[in-house]
Amino acid sequence: MAPDVYLAEAPSNIAFLKYWGKADAAAQWPANDSLSMTLRHARTQTRLQRSASGHHEIHFEGKRLAAQDPFAQKMLRHLTFLSEALEESQVPLHIDTHNTFPASCGIASSASGMAALTIGAVACWLEASSWEALTNKGISRAQLASWARRGSGSACRSLWGGFVVWEAAAGPASQRAYPLFPSAHWDLCDTLLLVSTAPKSVSSSQGHTTAWESPLFLPRLSGLPTRKRAMLEALADCNLAQLGPLLEQEALEMHSIMLSVVPPIVYLLPQTASWIVQIRRWRQEEGLEVYFTIDAGPNLHLICEPSTQPALLARLAQAGAQWLEDGIGEGPTLGMGRNKKWE
């Protein structure tokens, strides 16, 4: 009989308050708290089953990855970690994973990918095909989040829908991610404005290691609690006029950290700067209530309320821009099915 197939699907997320810099890289302990919005459309779908070949087999977007492929290596390292965390050696897995969004478009595929891998591998190993079955085996969502962060820090925020906080707390043992508000709390759109889809020259993981070298990093850390408080207030009140400027300050501050190390990490492109100016101009001169945030790349996430989106998209179309539409979404799903196809 063919082995059971476990299906884990996890969303990506866009950070409003950024995780940049680690207090302890080995333990994946972040230097500061972060806060994100879970995305609706940008998701990773991973199917897993016990492998008959005696070793892990990883397929990405339909193609088998060689064991030395950097992406496969990252997944294999995480599988080793998870197997050890479960405190017994686990059987090899056959893994098939794919993203619902294009690679290198500025959406954090490591967040959704590592979250889906964590949920799916643990489910498959423990033969638990639902959240309830996982809970019955003593595995909580918070535990999965804590494990997912070891694969990629931002992945721990992909265990819930809506708005999610990752608190650094006093140490690796007490750091934790948790849901702040469900998606129904505030319907926000995220229009991903594509400036370039070329792969980035410095990975986020490499970038994190340089943060402490920036003369701006300590001042950033001391100012963050105030920004976080203001962001929490704006989110609680669904107040975009308060949230928006904080989003922009936060993204530009993170890029200032990147730009002020030697050698600088330059993710931004000239077109990114032009769009920053354009978005601000539309807001100030035409009252278009749209704000940007930017991750470790040149593309802009344009945040607005649904009532503003048609006017934004019309302007983007007129300017010849390319974009992907997304918005606030739900958390991961887990299921089982031998022949089930993803919708």
Residues within the interface to ligand DP6 (CB under 6 A): 15, 18-20, 28, 34, 108, 110, 152-154, 204-205, 208, 295-296
Q: What DSSP element (H or E) covers 143?
A: helix 141-151
Distance between CA atoms of residues 200 and 52, nearest Å: 36
CB of 261 to ligand DP6, least distance (A): 14
What tokens does 290 get?
């749209």
CB closer to ligand DP6, 5 vs 254:
254
CB of 122 to ligand DP6, least distance (A): 19
3-state SS record for 214-229:
CCCHHHHHHHHHHHHH
CB of 176 to ligand DP6, least distance (A): 15
Amino acid (one-letter) located at 69: D
Distance between CA atoms of residues 27 and 293, nearest Å: 28
Residue position matching structure tokens 């290198």: 104
Q: Do the beta carbons of residue 301 and residue 190 sit within 8 Å?
A: yes
Burial category of 19 from C-beta neighbours within 10 Å (exposed 0-12, middle 13-18, buried 19 and up): buried
CB closer to ligand DP6, 6 vs 60:
60
CB of 71 to ligand DP6, least distance (A): 12
Half-sphere exposure of 75 (CA within 13 A, CB side): 32
Q: How far is CA 275 from CA 192, 279, 285, 320, in A?
A: 12, 6, 15, 12
Half-sphere exposure of 104 (CA within 13 A, CB side): 11
The residues near 249 (Cβ < 8 Å, ≥ 6 apart) are 227
CB closer to ligand DP6, 117 vs 336:
117
CB of 45 to ligand DP6, least distance (A): 19
CB closer to ligand DP6, 32 vs 308:
32
CB of 40 to ligand DP6, least distance (A): 17
Distance between CA atoms of residues 69 and 80, nearest Å: 16
CB closer to ligand DP6, 141 vs 149:
149
Q: Do the beta carbons of residue 302 and residue 256 sit within 8 Å?
A: no
Amino acid (one-letter) located at 229: R
CB closer to ligand DP6, 154 vs 299:
154
CB closer to ligand DP6, 18 vs 227:
18
Return the residue nearest ligand DP6 (CB atom): 153
CB of 219 to ligand DP6, least distance (A): 19
CB closer to ligand DP6, 191 vs 204:
204
CB of 133 to ligand DP6, least distance (A): 28
Distance between CA atoms of residues 182 and 180, nearest Å: 7
Distance between CA atoms of residues 300 and 272, nearest Å: 7
